[in-house]
Amino acid sequence: MRILISNDDGIFAQGIRTLANTIAKAGHQVTVVAPDRERSATGHGLTLHQPIRADVIEGLYNPSIVAWSCSGTPSDCVKLGLSAILDTPPDIVLSGINQGPNLGTDILYSGTVSAAMEGTIEGITSVALSLTSFTLKEFQPAANFALKLIEQLKEKTLPDSTLLNVNIPCLPEKEIRGVKITRQGLRRYIENFQKRLDPRGKSYYWLAGELVEELDQPEHIYLPPDLPTDVQANKENYITVTPLQYNLTDVMMVENLQNYCWFPLRSQDESIKE
């Protein structure tokens, strides 16, 4: 299979190197396009007001892998890979393996998830992969799971609008309890901006949010209440696989809003006459 890999931790990160090398050794054709430095929590940002530079990196990955270092965001990297670097679309886009979890509402800020979402927007099967530790670097179990997952996706393709967000506990494989399909949970932070002074006496702020562990997770109107959230299942040492989509329309509110008493507007017929 032809596989495009990106991340938000940067081209030199151990997670992406472990993922790419593992998949290449299994016989897949791998291209890496990743940021030239860490670009975590950049969300779905794009570079519009300055050029994007990209260079081939040699000697860092398995010799069969073509690896590009890109000056842009994770989303830039996937766009560049799909539109300018690859001659034909890949079968799968992978993003990761991220150093740290992307659970619950973290996905709204995640460069890892956004990079994978770029593939989904283009109708390509895409997966975001994260190791749920900010410090430990046991990426091989996560890479092994990714390899098994892409073999499954070869047989059972995803709908064009669906992305898989996968979080793997940072444990030896024998200690991982299994895999659970989950819904997106909730993670809240106490925002703490530390005010400091630079050497010239000018103030600046450093965001240092503190995670608040949520015991009560919101129910989903379309899913059974006993379906665990990614936050819950990951705490129990399961690999979590959460299907996501880029269409954020609140389906229930569409009908509710139609019953609101809106201020008078010109009818459609009147607009057409003009």
pTM assigned to the model? 0.90
167 found inside a domain: yes
The domain that contains 112 carries what CATH number? 3.40.1210.10
205 occurs within a structural domain: no
Give domain status of residue 119, yes or no.
yes
Does residue 85 fall inside a structural domain?
yes
Nearest by Cα to 181 from 220, 125, 137: 220
| Nearest residue to 232 via CA among 214, 220, 245 | 214
Write out the residue range of the structural domain in which residue 65 sits: 2-186+223-249
263 part of a folded domain? no
Amino acid type, 13: A
d(CA 159, CA 82): 19
Lowest mean pLDDT, pick from 77-91, 132-146, 249-263: 249-263
What is the three-class DSSP state of 46?
coil
Question: Does 268 fall in a domain?
Answer: no
DSSP count for the chain of H helices, then E strands: 7, 13
**Is residue 176 a part of any domain in this protein?**
yes
At 199-245, the pLDDT tens digits run 999 999 888 766 666 555 667 777 888 899 999 999 999 999 999 99
Q: Which residues touch 120 (CB under 8 Å, ≥6 apart)?
A: 93, 126, 160, 161, 162, 163, 245, 246
- Alpha-carbon gap, residue 247 to 21, rounded angstroms: 33
pLDDT tens digits along 126-163? 999 999 999 999 999 999 999 999 999 998 889 889 99
Cα separation, 157 vs 150, whole angstroms: 10
As for how many domains the chain has, the answer is 1
Asked whether residue 95 is assigned to any structural domain, the reply reads yes
